[in-house]
Amino acid sequence: MKQTLSTIYTESSKISPAVQEAITEFRGDFFFLSNFYYAPITYMGQRYANNEAAFQAQKTRTPNKRREFTIQNLQHPRDAQRLGRHLQLREDWEEIKLEQMYNICMAKFFQHPDLREKLLQTCCCPLFEENTWGDRYWGTVNGYGENHLGIILMDIRAKLQNELVYHADMIV
């Protein structure tokens, strides 16, 4: 039986947060949480194959450079990551990169209802992008790091859960 957003929230709210285990890697069953997951999104008027390509494209203000990251030109997230390393960063990148990542992740979960449902199914589990490549900004390494991607995903999940509560209250 396919679950709807309302049944997922109702069922998941019965589980005590104390018994929820942390999700510590965005692989296997939780690969959908990764920016490398193939989930085409439209962002800022362009179509990208995945969140990684959309994010890397935002590093520049040059429209032609941004188009290099679109789904017509790039399919693999590693290619987007590589190309993004060679861009001249926009001057305000450090100030806007968190907001850009947040908006891109929001686009992914709003444009893909199946992924939104899977995110909601993680219920109250803490989300950590534990990695071996040394990224302590977006994730964690050996349990240490800022985990900004995990925090963004947990915030989006909480907003989705609150939206479900709001809509449920409207029905009663």
Question: What is the distance between the alpha carbons of residues 88 and 154, in angstroms, rounded to a whole number?
Answer: 31
The candidate with the shortest Cα–Cα distance to 158, out of 136, 134, 126, is 126
Amino acid of residue 2: K
Domains in the chain: ranges and CATH? 5-171 (1.10.357.40)
pLDDT at 13: 36
pLDDT tier at 4, thresholds 50, 70, 90: very low
pTM: 0.84
- The rounded distance, in Å, linking the Cα atoms of 15 and 13 is 5
pLDDT one-digit tens code per residue, 52-61: 999 999 999 9
pLDDT at 164: 73
pLDDT tens for residues 16-45?
Answer: 344 479 999 999 999 999 999 999 999 999
H or E element in which residue 7 lies: helix 5-12
Please name which of 54, 147, 38 lies closest in space to residue 105, comparing C-alpha atoms: 54
CB count in 10 Å sphere of residue 38: 13
Give pLDDT tens digits for 93-150.
999 999 999 999 999 999 999 999 999 999 999 999 999 999 999 999 999 999 999 9
